[in-house]
Amino acid sequence: MRLLVVGDIIGNPGRRALKKFLETEGKELNYQFLVVNGENAAGGFGITEKVYKTLKSLGVDAITTGNHVWDKKETWNFIGKTKDLLRPANYPDTVPGLGWNIFEKNGVRIAVINLMGLTFMNPYLENPFLTFDRIYEEVKNRSDIVVVDFHAEATSEKNAFVLYVKGRAQLVFGTHTHIPTADERIIDGQTAYITDVGMSGVLNSVIGVEFKRSLPYYLQGIKKKFYIAEKGDVVFNALLVEFDESFKPVKVERIQRLYRWEELKEISV
């Protein structure tokens, strides 16, 4: 069983890169399940129903999110109707949408759990460590592979989390910082891990945001409206994880591709 995980999709450039990668290399990788983080997939901030359907049309099995999940007002109205667009599970139960779900693919049951860290993030959410404990009791006898998108700012919190869930989750991947880390590994033969998968977006930008729009904050201490970087060479980051017949991770490979804008500008997605 092979799972492909794609880091934060940043707007239209990120969606184009995803489509390009899947069309040119998807069959060769022979993956059976595809997870993407889509919280920035619509204009760089949030996700719309149209973009959700676009990602599904590309063959995405599960879409995770994070702190930007509510940036588009319409998300509140449609996320509760979906089973494969997840929001962090440590939001209160009064919030619409699912924080986890179990998917069956090729006879394999895959539990995907979406969690958000607390450090430098939203302090009003439930503790993600304890949220995992609760959810794990529900999925441990109903799934073969447990996957966690841990959407968090602090690398220390991410590393503490994976060691806490080691042996219970078979794959933990970090998102949110948009910068890929080079620490992909399998911990004690039990859990595949990377601190941050990275983003799919314009490379020479400020984590996907137009450079000049971010400058006032750094030069004057004034935060103005950010705009996504729309053109330029696009970096694509992903993680490929292979599991054996007993559903233990046996191989983890970090993937990075750079697409010239000329390769992507004619792609419609």
Q: Cα separation of 46 and 74, whole Å?
A: 10
Cβ atoms of 31 and 62 within 8 Å: the answer is: no
CA distance 205 to 95: 33
Eight-state DSSP code of residue 209: B
CB atoms inside a 10 Å sphere around CB 260 = 10
Instruction: Encode 195-234: b = buried (16+ Cβ within 10 Å), e = exposed.
Output: bbbbbbbbeebbbbbbeebbeeeeeeeeeeebebbeebbb
Placement of tokens 């996907």 in the chain: 208
Helical ranges in 33-96 per DSSP H: 49-57, 75-78
Q: Which of 267, 268, 260, 200 is nearest to 232 (CA)?
A: 260
Q: Please tell me which residue in 68, 151, 176, 178 is annotated as part of the active site.
A: 68
151 given a catalytic annotation:
no
What is the β-pairing status of strands 234-243 and 199-202? Answer: antiparallel
**How many H helices and E strands in the chain?**
7, 13
Q: Are 54 and 62 in contact (CB under 8 A)?
A: no
Catalytic residues: 68
